[in-house]
Amino acid sequence: MSQTSKWDKRYLALAKEISTWSKDPSTQVGAVTVGNKKEVLSQGFNGFPREK
């Protein structure tokens, strides 16, 4: 059985919060990239495709 650390839970909560920034009500996705020293390297969320 896998153990989830408190830091893993914090980063998952952060990704969930970032997902709320998406303007797409049907699919809200947040992401956080974390480095070896527990630093946030990047974060992002999905959006609508750009129009041509």
Q: Return the pLDDT at 51.
A: 86
Q: What is the pLDDT of residues 1-52, one digit of tens each?
A: 567 899 999 999 999 999 999 999 899 999 999 999 999 999 999 998 888 7
pLDDT at position 52, please? 79
For residue 24 the two structure tokens come to 């797409």
Neighbours of 30 (CB within 10 A): 19
Q: Which long-range contacts (CB under 8 A, 24 or more apart) does 21-29 make?
A: 21/45, 22/46, 22/47, 23/47, 23/48, 24/48
Please tell me the predicted confidence (pLDDT) of residue 2.
67
Rounding to the nearest 10 degrees, give the CA dihedral for residues 20, 22, 25, 26.
-100
The predicted pLDDT at position 34 comes to 97
For the chain, what are the domain ranges?
6-45
